[in-house]
Structure 1
C-alpha cells in the first residue's frame, strides 16, 4: 500500500514538473501560414497545442510532435477546421484556420493529404460538417462505441470510415496516473501510408 502511494505521489509530482516546464519553455510565437498553401476539403491538419492536455498527449505519443487533429473544410475560399476539443459548451467546433493556429492554440502545425479523388474527400468533409451541424459533443470518456460523442482523432477516423474509406487504425493503450484507456493517438494518422505530408 505504501509503495502504491509513493508511486502515485511520484507520478503526480513528475506530471506537475513536466507541465510547469512545458508552460515556461514552450515557444508561443505566431505560427506562419504560407500564402501559397493550397488546402483542400478533407485535408488533415495537426497542431502542437499549448494546453496541459496537449502536453500529456505528446508525452504519451512518442511517434509524433502533434497533440491535436482536425479536418479542413473550404467555404467560399476560406479554410475552416472541424475538430473536437474540450471547451466551454463541449460541441464539435468549426474554427477559421487562423483561429485554429493562433498563438494561444498552437506552436506548430502540419498538413496531411489522402491520395483520393476530390469527390471522395468532399464526402469526408460533409460527414465532418454533419457532426458540427448536429452539435455532437466532445467525448470525455474516449469511447469509440458512441457516435454522437467524439474526440479529435475519433472524429477524423469516423468521418473517413463513414464516407466509405476503410481506414484501419487501432487504438493504443494510454496510461495515465489514474488508470488506463485505449485511444487513437495522432501518430496513427501521421504514420499511416494513406496520408502524405504536404506542409
Structure 2
C-alpha cells in the first residue's frame, strides 16, 4: 500500500529556500491537536530546519510516530521537503528565515544534520535540559543557539493540560523570533 506522500506530487519553490530556513507545519493528528490546544495562537504544531543537498531541500526534524517502518525507534531524521509537507502530515505550512547571515544559517543546518546522522533519539520526556535526546523545537533552538542566535528569546511556556504538564518550547515560540521573516506559506 502506498502512503499518501508517495502519491502526492506537490512542488515547492525550493529555489526560494536556503540552509537554515525553518519549515513549520500544522498537522491533523492527535499530537498536533494537543500542541495547538497548548498554544496561544495555534498556527503550527511542528518545526524542522532546512538543509539543501544537491540543490534539493530536505527538512531535519524530530517527531514521534513517523518512522518509515513499524517498530523503528523515533529519532531526529532528515527527509525531502515534499514528504515533510505531504498531505497526510500537513494541513498548512510555512518556511521562515531566521537570519540573512548565510554562514550562521548554514552552520545551524550542518549542526542539525550532524545530530541527525548520529541517530539522536526523540525526546519523549520533552526535557530541554538534556540534549542527548531532542524534540522538534529543542533541536531547532539548540542548533541556532550553538551558532549564537537564541530563536526562543527565552520564551518557554508552562503548560498544565490533562495530557501534558510542564515547561515546553512551542513552535509558535520560535515563530515569534524578532527577526524572523516568512518566505513561503500554504494552506490546504
Regarding TM over 0.5, the answer is yes
TM-score, normalising length: structure 1: 0.80
Structure 1 contact 31–101 (Cα < 8 Å) conserved: no
More helix, by proportion: 1
- 1:178 shift after superposition: 5.0
- 1:32 shift after superposition: 5.0
* Correspondence 1:129-168 to 2 at 5 A: 129-167=113-151, 168=153
2:156 maps to which of 171, 183, 187? 171
1:44 aligns with 2:22: yes
Q: Deviations over 1:51-82 (max 9, x none)?
A: 10001101111223110000000000110000
Structure 2 contact 23–49 (Cα < 8 Å) conserved: yes
- Larger Rg: 1 or 2? 1
C-alpha distance in structure 2 between counterparts of 1:123 and 1:143, whole Å? 24
Aligned equivalent of 1:11:
none
Aligned equivalent of 2:5:
none
TM-score, normalising length: structure 2: 0.84
Equivalenced residues, count: 170
* Correspondence 1:45-194 to 2 at 5 A: 45-87=23-65, 88-167=72-151, 168-177=153-162, 180-194=165-179
Aligned CA-pair RMSD? 1.8
C-alpha distance in structure 1 between counterparts of 2:121 and 2:139, whole Å? 10
SS in 1 for 2:16: coil
After TM superposition, the structure 1 stretch with the greater mean CA deviation from structure 2, 170-179 or 158-167, is 170-179
Aligned equivalent of 1:10:
none
Structure 2 contact 12–82 (Cα < 8 Å) conserved: no
SS in 2 for 1:189: helix
Query: Which 5+ residue runs of structure 1 have no aligned equivalent?
Result: 1-29
In structure 2, relative to structure 1, the CA distance for the partners of 1:194 and 1:110 (3 Å cut) is same
C-alpha distance in structure 1 between counterparts of 2:179 and 2:140, whole Å? 13
- Higher RCO, Cα 8 Å, sep 6+: 2
SS in 1 for 2:87: coil
- 1:46 shift after superposition: 0.4
